[in-house]
């Protein structure tokens, strides 16, 4: 099968390997990436706090931190809609892959 031409719609991508370059392109603004990184870090702290205290509100706080910071980055700085609306699972995976790539120095913030 020949490689499909990307038409700009992330729903046309058939694998996470195809999706991740699109995801990174949607996060080209440094401030947006920084906000994702901060939100993901705070979300991890909240999840750790949930495990430590068994307080369910930390789960809500993790979601608010993770998505809140990301959406501020997209709407306020990147000027695009988050990919999570069209490819939620791959977008979630992309968040954590980008987070890891930032920690390992593959992506600058």
| Residue range 70-105, pLDDT digits in tens | 999 999 999 998 888 888 999 999 999 999 999 999
CA 44 remoteness from chain centre: 13
Alpha helices in the chain (DSSP H): 16-25, 30-53, 57-72, 88-103
Contacts of 107 (CB under 8 A, 6+ apart): 24, 33, 98, 101
Q: Which residue has the higher pLDDT, 109 or 11?
A: 109
For residues 18-50, b (16+ Cβ closer than 10 Å) or e, as one string? Answer: ebbebbeebbebeebbebbbbbbbbbeebbebb
Q: For residue range 11-34, what is the model confidence (pLDDT) as tens digits? A: 788 999 999 999 999 999 999 999
pLDDT for 5 beyond 90: no
Q: pTM surpassing 0.85?
A: yes
């Amino acid at each position: 099968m020949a490689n499909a031409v990307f038409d700009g719609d992330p729903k046309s991508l058939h694998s996470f390997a195809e999706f991740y370059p699109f995801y990174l392109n949607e996060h080209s603004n440094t401030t947006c990436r920084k906000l994702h990184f901060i939100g993901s870090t705070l979300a991890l702290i909240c999840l750790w706090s949930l495990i430590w205290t068994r307080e369910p509100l930390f789960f809500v706080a993790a979601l608010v931190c993770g998505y809140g910071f990301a959406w501020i980055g997209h709407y306020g700085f990147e000027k695009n809609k988050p990919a999570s609306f069209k490819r939620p699972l791959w977008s979630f995976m992309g968040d954590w892959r980008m987070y890891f790539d930032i920690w390992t120095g593959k992506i600058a913030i």
